[in-house]
Amino acid sequence: MTLIGTGEIVAPAVSGGHGVGAFNVIQLEHAEAIVAGAEAAGAPVVLQLSQNAVRYHGGLAPIGAATLAVARAAAVPVAVHLDHATERSLVAEALALGFGSVMFDASALPYEENVRTTAEVTRQCRAAGVWVEAELGEVGGKDGVHAPGARTDPAQAAEFVARTGVDALAVAVGTSHAMLTRTAALDLGLIAALRAAVPVPLVLHGSSGVADPVLAAAVAHGMTKVNIATHLNKAFTEAVRGRLAADPALVDTRTYLGEGRAAVAREVTRLLGLLTAPRPADRAAVSP
């Protein structure tokens, strides 16, 4: 197996009634850990690079090329995805590097401007054979603020997809980005209503704040792509802190970063087992 498109991972999940794990890469160790975890689970996985991570590295090319290289060497299907891009120049750079999908985020714009801009980006990506995700009903917490009140309207979501031509839609159903506790209360009824109304796969952002049973229920009610970042960063950081505390004289970064990498790999394996298990709930047909 090797690098494939995100749509090639999402489509079988839709038809099979299970979820797809999409995990954010910040450093090379994250990419290595996520792939190792997916290989242990025997499951496909999506490696995501956010615009914030790109900013941290000073550009997309170095971390993007490294992430693509890790994906190509994997023993399971791996897709590389640009997450939460608000700059069209960054989308173009991702296309040139060989990313298989992008999430263009114009959700903070007025609705009509979101539709117009997203449709333009979708046409650009479609011409390159690249899968496109967009967002409607801004998910809270991008600046660390827990804002669980945002909700996506099913009728507006269906109209948005029809007018933009996107391949997947990120919706607001009660999650918030950057949550450090897994206490988010999801609106499962809204997820089911969105599934029935929207003809493309649904994406759950801010999933780090969602407990395991609720994540499973979200997939059963119609979510497919599940994005997780902060939860893995917690696992990484806790492992590094523990290793440094155990040996205050330690200076070899490979030793303590390796502990963080191993912790993330274990958690990815566990989460993929949860997300990729088939769900018994009846699922409305959506196009992949």
CATH code (residue 250): 3.20.20.70
| Cα distance between residue 206 and residue 109, in whole Å | 20
User: ∠ CA(246), CA(251), CA(255), 5° rounding?
Assistant: 70
**pLDDT tens-digit readout, 169-202:** 999 886 555 554 554 667 788 999 999 999 999 9
| Cα distance between residue 41 and residue 285, in whole Å | 27
Average pLDDT over residues 215-241: 93
| Cα distance between residue 219 and residue 205, in whole Å | 13
Average pLDDT over residues 4-21: 95
Q: Is residue 288 part of a domain?
A: no
Counted domains in the chain: 1
Nearest by Cα to 139 from 152, 158, 122: 152
Nearest by Cα to 80 from 136, 126, 34: 34
pLDDT band at residue 144 under the 50/70/90 scheme: very low
pLDDT band at residue 286 under the 50/70/90 scheme: very low
- Residue 141's pLDDT is what? 43
Nearest by Cα to 288 from 226, 227, 225, 228: 225
**pLDDT tens-digit readout, 132-142:** 999 886 554 44
Query: Which positions ≥6 away from 246 have C-beta within 8 Å?
Result: none
> Between 149 and 264, whose confidence is greater?
264
- Residue 177's pLDDT is what? 58
Among residues of the chain, what percentage have pLDDT more than 90?
73
**Do 227 and 83 touch, CB atoms closer than 8 A?**
yes
Residue-number span of the structural domain to which 111 is assigned: 6-275
Average pLDDT over residues 116-123: 97
Which pTM does this prediction carry? 0.90
**pLDDT tens-digit readout, 234-284:** 999 999 999 999 999 999 999 999 999 999 999 999 999 999 887 654 444
**pLDDT tens-digit readout, 78-105:** 999 999 999 999 999 999 999 999 999 9
- Residue 279's pLDDT is what? 61
Residues catalogued as catalytic: 83
Other Cβ atoms less than 10 A from the Cβ of 122: the count is: 22
Q: Is residue 285 part of a domain?
A: no
- Residue 136's pLDDT is what? 81
- Residue 28's pLDDT is what? 97
Average pLDDT over residues 110-130: 95
Q: Is residue 284 part of a domain?
A: no
Expressed in angstroms, the distance from the first to the final Cα of the chain is: 21
Other Cβ atoms less than 10 A from the Cβ of 156: the count is: 13
- Residue 159's pLDDT is what? 96
| Cα distance between residue 161 and residue 168, in whole Å | 8
Residue 108 confidence (pLDDT) above 70: yes
**Residue 147 burial class via C-beta count within 10 angstroms: exposed 0-12, middle 13-18, buried 19 and up:** middle
Q: State residue 178 phi and psi, 5-degree precision.
A: 65, 25
Nearest by Cα to 7 from 102, 97, 86: 102
Q: Is residue 164 part of a domain?
A: yes
Residue 220 confidence (pLDDT) above 80: yes
Q: Is residue 286 part of a domain?
A: no
Strands 131-136 and 168-171, bridge-based pairing: parallel
Q: Is residue 180 part of a domain?
A: yes
- Residue 175's pLDDT is what? 59
Q: Is residue 153 part of a domain?
A: yes
Q: Is residue 41 part of a domain?
A: yes
- Residue 184's pLDDT is what? 60
Q: State residue 20 phi and psi, 5-degree precision.
A: -125, 130
SS3 81: strand
